[in-house]
Amino acid sequence: MKILVINCGSSSVKFKVFEMPEEKLLAEGIVEKIGEEVSLFSYDTGEKKFFSKKTVQVKNHEESLHLIAQTLVDTETGIIKDVKDIAGVGHRVVHGGEGFDKSVQLNDEIIQKIEDYVSLAPLHNPHNLSGIRASMKFFPDSLQVASFDTAFHATIPEVAYLYPIPYEFYEKYRIRRYGFHGTSHRYVARRAAELMGKGKYEVNVITCHLGNGCSITAVKNGHSIDTSMGLTPLEGLMMGTRSGDIDPGIIFHLMESLGLSSQEVNDLLNKKSGLLGLSGVSNDFRNLLENIDNRRVALSIDVYSYRIKKYIGAYMAVLGRTDAIVFTAGAGEKTPEVREKALSGMEEFGIILDRDKNYKNFSDEGEINAPESKVKVYVIPTNEELRIAVDTYTFVSTSHR
């Protein structure tokens, strides 16, 4: 059974096709720079069968999905004979509000609810919806499933998700912590439990998703009980271009003293801050490490790592017992310097890193703690698409019974 997974960003569409239940990756690709004069399309069927990277012209997400559908059935590049061979399509949806605590089969009612949450995720949900509608058009016989970034965090208790502002703002407008990257946090938490030889509800884990967007989650007995991102993905850890936690008074100072508009402040905190803002060089760790002699670059990495350490310490206190710490996503998987800095000096908390293992497991799955460490430390590459494929396959296989 073939499952297509779609991940629509503001100017891109990532996709993967899996053979289920074998969980075998058949093809993957990405359409980038959607709506620009020249777009890019990469497509790979693996095992040296077919790879292509070319320029294309796509105006919107609908045209991108049409291109993907054509490619999958093409006599030269395709892996299927007909779009009907795609049994299910799984969609990553960023915000599910309080309405969704798990993946759901899409219908008109569900789509309307996702529309209702656009105000909570105006930069993400509209593009997710565009992908859903285009997929329904070009894969009309496929069962469509939505998997929400916020769903894994539905178990967070009131004490962790409420903000100390007038309660009526929660009652009327549902302003609260929702958290994101839930599919990734769930995947690596479950995988960590497997590596420890324990059931998924038997472990307490701190999962660190460190990509261009960064978040950290406290997972107790397999359930998310706190996470660093909040109402929006801006809160929490310092990120590639996002500030993360700051004094809210800074916003008013920028607006009143410098005359910046609310949109200008929003752009500054989301697109011009974080590693990029502090370093003045880049939000990409590859570029930063190449310029590590630059004082601001080195300082930006130190601040980034320090803030990860603070959250780890806070979540160890929340969990009471920590079985493992997991690093995942781009920087989490591929930047041992950050892992080393974030965990340095934590020996009194039972965390002892094996430096050689840390650098040896540069991007592969592995345990990087010293034998005497009471807390396991893992590098686990995330696979959100596979998690979505598994959820989608569950719906499809059930509907076929």
What does the block give as tokens for 322?
A: 């920590």
Q: Answer whether residue 123 shows pLDDT above 90.
A: no
Q: Are residues 83 and 209 in the same domain?
A: no
The residue ranking higher by pLDDT, 124 or 372, is: 372
Domain count, the chain: 2
100: left (phi over 0), alpha (psi -120 to 50) or beta: beta
At 174, phi and psi to the nearest 5? 55, 40
At 153-200, the pLDDT tens digits run 999 999 999 999 999 999 998 999 999 999 999 999 999 999 999 999
378 domain-assigned: yes
Sign, CA torsion 317/228/160/380: negative
Task: Report the residue count for the chain.
Answer: 401
With tokens 């559908």, the residue in question is 69
The span from the CA of 63 to the CA of 88, in Å, is: 20
At 75-116, the pLDDT tens digits run 888 889 999 999 999 999 988 888 888 899 999 999 998 888
The span from the CA of 21 to the CA of 5, in Å, is: 14
Alpha-carbon distances of 369 from 14, 294, 340, 346, 375, rounded to whole Å = 34, 30, 11, 12, 8
Q: Are residues 64 and 208 in the same domain?
A: no
Indicate which residue of 82, 101, 149, 284 is catalytic: 149
Residue at a domain's end among 148, 182, 216: 148
184 domain-assigned: no
Contact residues for 401 (Cβ-Cβ < 8 A; gap 6+):
none
The span from the CA of 44 to the CA of 64, in Å, is: 16
At 218, phi and psi to the nearest 5? -95, 115
Taking Cα atoms as reference points, which of 315, 316, 338, 318 lies closest to residue 328? Answer: 338
Tell me what the pLDDT averaged over the chain comes to. Answer: 92
The span from the CA of 75 to the CA of 78, in Å, is: 6
183 domain-assigned: no
Residue 61, domain extent: 6-148
Instruction: Please confirm, yes or no, whether 149 is among the known catalytic residues.
Output: yes
Q: Please report, for the domain that includes residue 298, its CATH number.
A: 3.30.420.40
380 domain-assigned: yes
252 domain-assigned: yes
At 320-348, the pLDDT tens digits run 999 999 999 989 999 999 999 999 999 99
Contact present, 388 and 396 (Cβ < 8 Å): no
Q: Answer whether residue 269 shows pLDDT above 90.
A: yes
Instruction: Map 356-370 to HEC letters.
Output: HHHHHCCCCCEECEC
At 57-75, the pLDDT tens digits run 888 899 999 999 999 998 8
With tokens 């998310």, the residue in question is 224
393 domain-assigned: no
Q: Are residues 139 and 205 in the same domain?
A: no
Q: Answer whether residue 211 shows pLDDT above 60.
A: yes
pTM, two decimal places? 0.89
282 domain-assigned: yes
At 38, phi and psi to the nearest 5? -130, 125
Contact present, 31 and 67 (Cβ < 8 Å): yes
163 domain-assigned: no
